[in-house]
Structure 1
């Protein structure tokens, strides 16, 4: 029996862990950026570097100070390496320390303000800013941060010495830099993010171009900064007195700033006339309509980090500005519609599309990049992704692209990205104007206008300063029909991290969906059932309270008193939300179907196939897990197999929840085609599952088998192909009209992640995806459930025909 937290603490003295070690927050000079990949394989820069910044209002002398480096996992013999500093750091200025030079790289640092020879790790380590040049002797975070000489510390990767949690690990092409306006919260993980290295010296100079000289600060216009590719030709340079009119302000979060736009456009459609000015956690003191001249460093910011493969956002950082006038007219926004947005999504075949000249009349992603920072608008656009709690929704400006029967946009293949999808967010405070609640198939009417930007969660986005109104469509939650007495109804439902920590209202809504919308299936395969303590990571793995609470809610909603079966996972081994121990489970109506209990199933016990004394195929365990120790299921849910009896016939059901798509590159990745790294594990899982299916069907080619669940992949994916090759299994979604093949909505694409597959013997069936969640702003889960109503086979063709005739006669009477 699992021990609860309360039980573990009863009669035991409470021991409080010490708080993470921190240094006093910096008031002026602090560490701003650390890069250790210089000259390594794949690096652009030739040298490692450390950059300081002064967020104070007065110059700070650093004569006699030093920066020091320690490996991430120091040994008792490890020693700090030291680079001495001289001079001072100007208020609002930077100070660059060049370190070891490698054999690779093509771009030199700008002239450093101090030079050393420390060869830092390209992935993980600790850097300290120290008053004094004597090497530190501490080897733990607590000891180092208690040393009065230490001004600031950043530990990255899995560094032992750090403030709070460590900053992200780096690569040969990424550094860690402060993510906001030089905030110091005493937590490296919160204060720093990985991204492209952007060294800047005290003169405001960026990296030296190969074969060229060090760029001096220069005046520029926005289109000069944006350039004709995705990366600014002035990246890293300091530009002065860039003119424009403020068009939008982001005054919330840690990525605050404003957009401004040049009113004197050039004649090149590839160059955007708009630009974002990043001010971190400080709300900029400007107003829409202000004519400004901005001075700052040109930066390419990768939302979420460069390693995830997304596009960069060209912006000005470390900026100052002057306001020349207020109340100026704004430039006319660019209309995005079917006439202006190309059908083709993106060029393919290049390792990276960053350096390719933009072709905005040919590719949608090139058009969107050419408008980065500019005012844009959409008008009377169909909603294809429902609004969410973050104040976002998706529309399409290409209404004829793969429309679904319910008003969405179907993701029909890896080459059918649907170029007209655009995310709409809001720059209007919710207190001033609540974000509209919209379902798929509604229309965002009137004009929605704002700067066009790019973010990690959805890519190219219209950040609205003016929001249209929502006109409701015809979409309502669906209800499937009741099964007939002769039909076995089997459903799958991902209930999205369900646990007793959820409000009762969620249980009630899921129960109503099962009773009313799904018409009380005989068997329900559930995915994402969490343990009794939910996301609390306390060693609890039992989920009896979760399942009992759902069963009680179903009964209260007028449904049957379902029974359930499941197998507890090993703590922390099945992935999902940390501490949640999600697993699959069966609900079944014992008045309609019998569950064949056969002992032996466990967390690590593998179910097999055998014959009984009459030669009938059966599972060795029921319920049982399919190959639970196979590496394919590492950090992922294991399939749950169960043996059922319906009207005297055996039916095998296997509930699944394959590995998630987390870590895959997005459709709008700068790498095209994007890498689907998570697919490797799902294909491996499909191979293991297919081997079990083949074993069962070799034992009984006429077996009634239903394989279902959240396979986390598309009907056209290699994962599904692995399961269906050779006709061993048939996927039910292919039996629907093409425009109805969806049950999940992501970034405006209606798509398939959940599936029901059957063995060839099951020929009399009806399949339904019941749309109650995915297309709606108000959801009980982010997945739609599915149900299969099937007449199981007797295993004898003559008896099957006779039974069918009898059922038809009985139903007519």
Structure 2
């Protein structure tokens, strides 16, 4: 189960929102008598009583949390007010195993505080709590307040209000409008007993015993049961994370398209790793949707098949080599050229200066042969130790695999970790100065990030330039449920600089040979509609081929209920307009609870 951040805001008020690092201004401690939970919750995200002591707040215990560092219980008033903006539930943080039981009628005295999961620097919203509690049991065995049913009719279609420009874009001080905005609706239910029924799974169960459902069955649905994320302005408002207050061993192993049949009921929480979350004390039964892994078509003798696959920190100690090999041979149909991202060095995360990855790559090649595939050859360049980001000590890098019976690699010596590849003209055609080579590896755009690997290939006598990429991750961006709306995507700054470098290199090739066949592919860590993709595409130098698919099929990754594009294959005009291209996002991982990577591989087939 997710652990509680050590960062706490012990005394916050709605007096003034002042900065990203400090949600509100503190007030002097005060004393508030005869208050109810809805008085504590108030009509904004920050309690009007934050920082104050409250006495004998009544309610019924609806659930207890006895695990992790966020121990406590949820308290709900069985006598609500008539204001839909004020929640009737609140979390009581005990810090140790609570001594109350579900159904107890209690009164609580303590300090009202606002806890920000992940700390204030995360930009997350806060959870209104009662801390340092003194609890008095009035009676036991009482009926728990009936759950509020969250469904397609109750959740608004608009996602969030625009943040207050005078408060750095925060929505904390804005009056809640639960009938207008989805985030306001969920906030108005914070801490209350809620329920979803017959909810379709839109992100598979993960190792933390979490999954995501949608309460809007037709909201941007695709044919495999997921919910597609299509733009920054078209949020999927029906998404909701599900956790359980029970044993993790009993948590369902769900895939996308499965259904939690019947009622799933529990308090509505907010956490660092997904925002609003139904923490279930009653889980629906799992009904399988029968989802199967996809298999792409085999390339013809005249087609060149080029693929990209993020194998998620692969190193020799992993037990996924046979599964990856089977996927490459069977589901990807043994592509001619394969760009691999997140190949780690020979001892993985051991941080001892090792940078060579030959053991990792050769173990995968051997597994592919054992699975009935070709004996791939490979090319890569070792990074400078601890300079390419990723898991510390892992030295992830991009690697080309290629089938030498179908494709030849043009080797030009001189490419190393710090030497920049260039473009020259040979007999009137573009050629790389080194092959393989890295694009401007000392440029600040690549600081603590993977450097693109460029290689020159020959297929049926024709040259194809391939650039393998793994751009900077989205780590550090504010979440969709952030208190800042729209959320700040600060990681874009470096990705935009990287995309500019890749596009400039493609321009260099095309300036020498206008009809050169160029492919830039890999884990771009950004959407096909993003500014990163627009910079990569430039003024027509490249085009993201995933856009040849229907919108409902454009996804390579599944995150918090949103199926989205992170991996792309971009092609130059000579391939786009004359290559008879066929594109396939091969869904073998992102929708499944037993995934061997969090990314789906992408395959492009075309005639050079």
Q: Normalized against structure 1, the TM-score is what?
A: 0.71
**Would you say the 8 A contact 1:44–1:173 is kept in 2?**
no
2:214 counterpart residue number: 396
1:786 counterpart residue number: 602
- SS across alignment from 2:494: helix
Among 582, 602, 622, the alignment partner of 2:416 is 602
**Would you say the 8 A contact 2:74–2:191 is kept in 1?**
yes
Change (3 A) 1:673 1:172: closer
1:471 aligns with 2:284: no
Match runs of 1:523-602 below 5 Å: 523-602=337-416
Distance in 1 of aligned mates of 2:8 and 2:321: 48
Higher relative contact order (CA 8 A, sep 6+): 2
Distance in 1 of aligned mates of 2:399 and 2:247: 42
2:499 counterpart residue number: 686
Match runs of 1:770-809 below 5 Å: 770-792=586-608
Match runs of 1:269-418 below 5 Å: 269-280=84-95, 282-350=96-164, 351-418=169-236
2:54 counterpart residue number: 239
**Would you say the 8 A contact 1:196–1:302 is kept in 2?**
no
Return 5+ residue gaps in structure 2 as ranges: 1-5
Match runs of 1:16-31 below 5 Å: none
Deviations 1:710-766 (A, max 9, x none): 000001100000111321111111100111000100000000000001010013111
1:519 aligns with 2:333: yes
RMSD of aligned alpha carbons: 2.0
**Would you say the 8 A contact 1:396–1:420 is kept in 2?**
yes
- 1:417 deviates by 1.4
Distance in 1 of aligned mates of 2:204 and 2:124: 23
- SS across alignment from 1:510: helix
**Would you say the 8 A contact 1:301–1:312 is kept in 2?**
yes
2:3 counterpart residue number: none
2:303 counterpart residue number: 487
1:27 counterpart residue number: none
Runs of 4+ aligned structure 1 residues displaced above 3 Å come to 32-35, 171-174, 195-198
1:261 counterpart residue number: 76
**Would you say the 8 A contact 1:596–1:645 is kept in 2?**
yes
Change (3 A) 1:549 1:745: same
Distance in 2 of aligned mates of 1:402 and 1:216: 49
- SS across alignment from 2:216: coil
Among 44, 63, 88, the alignment partner of 1:229 is 44
- 1:215 deviates by 1.9
Change (3 A) 1:256 1:33: closer
- SS across alignment from 1:726: coil
Distance in 2 of aligned mates of 1:311 and 1:787: 40
Q: Normalized against structure 2, the TM-score is what?
A: 0.95
1:207 aligns with 2:27: yes
Return 5+ residue gaps in structure 1 as ranges: 1-31, 46-104, 108-170, 175-194, 199-205, 209-213, 793-813
Change (3 A) 1:34 1:468: closer
- SS across alignment from 2:267: strand
Larger CA Rg, structure 1 vs 2: 1
- 1:616 deviates by 2.3
**Would you say the 8 A contact 2:13–2:27 is kept in 1?**
no
Distance in 2 of aligned mates of 1:279 and 1:347: 33
- SS across alignment from 2:94: strand
- 1:331 deviates by 0.5
Distance in 2 of aligned mates of 1:231 and 1:756: 45
1:111 counterpart residue number: none
- SS across alignment from 1:688: helix
2:448 counterpart residue number: 635
**Would you say the 8 A contact 2:7–2:118 is kept in 1?**
no
**Would you say the 8 A contact 2:13–2:49 is kept in 1?**
no
Change (3 A) 1:106 1:415: closer
**Would you say the 8 A contact 1:536–1:580 is kept in 2?**
yes
Distance in 2 of aligned mates of 1:106 and 1:508: 57
Deviations 1:212-259 (A, max 9, x none): xx6225332100000000000000111111111111111111111110
Match runs of 1:16-55 below 5 Å: none
- 1:318 deviates by 1.0
